[in-house]
Amino acid sequence: MCGGPNEEFERAARLCGYRRVAGIDEAGRGPLAGPVVAAAVVLPTRCRLSGVDDSKQLSEGRRDRLYAAILEQAVGMGIGSADAWEIDRLNILEATRLAMQRAIDQLAPPPDYLLIDAVTLPGIRISVRPIIKGDSLSLSIAAASIIAKVTRDRLMAKYHDMFPEYDFLSHKGYGTTGHLQRLARHGPCSIHRRTFMPVQEMIIAAKRKPHGRMRSTWFEQ
């Protein structure tokens, strides 16, 4: 299978008798702030979606256009998320699984087969096929990656309005140089992941030096 995502995995599932095949992917496992967002997408048979690929390989404008096309053509779609507090409480892998389960739960009628980008979902009562680099191989996983990425980026744009001092619009919560500089200046806000380095290191340092350059109260938020 080459030349970008295609429907080979979906066709194989349908040949085995499955009818509602959902592709699942997530966005936001790596950032220091914001939620992890998952999407589950069921595409029609012989779906025509030109240009769909792993969301990380697409420009923002291209993702936005494909997002609209996927919304128009999908026969089922669910979106789920886990926020920073849940990520800190569970760890990022379990929070990702939680977001994926929430996305699956939004599908009605429910899927009978899942294609997932290299994540297992223990305990789920649906047939699952994890696929390494699935967002570059499976059309429905690639579609889910675009839906998840665009949804998360738009959420981070809203957080930018709430917390403009962090400039979330430009870095979407990832650990860029600019984000780290703003984090050092202002300390973490309510959507920062406190178990992620270097956020955790900054909290520990602030507790040791509560009257230093950074505000003495932000680590208690």
| pLDDT given for residue 210 in this prediction | 55
pLDDT at res. 49: 81
- Tell me the C-alpha distance between 160 and 95, whole Å: 23
pLDDT band at residue 54 using 50, 70 and 90 as cut-offs: low
> What is the phi-psi region of residue 167: left when phi exceeds 0, alpha when psi lies from -120 to 50, beta otherwise?
left
| CATH among 3.40.50.300, 3.30.420.10, 1.10.1060.10, 3.30.230.20 for 8-160 | 3.30.420.10
Q: Give the model confidence (pLDDT) of 67-92 as tens digits.
A: 999 999 999 999 999 999 999 999 99
Q: Residue 132: what pLDDT?
A: 93
> Does residue 54 or residue 214 have the better pLDDT?
54
pLDDT of 157-199, one tens digit each? Answer: 999 999 999 999 999 999 999 999 999 999 999 999 999 999 9
- What per-residue confidence (pLDDT) applies to 48? 79
What is the rounded CA–CA span in Å between residue 64 and residue 70? 10
Q: Do 179 and 171 meet the contact criterion of CB atoms below 8 Å apart?
A: yes
Query: Picking from 36-40, 62-66, 210-214, which range would have the lowest pLDDT averaged per residue?
Result: 210-214
Give dist(CA 15, CA 19) in Å, integer: 9
Between helix 60-73 and helix 139-162 the angle, nearest 10°, is 120
Q: Where are the domains of the chain?
A: 8-160, 163-220
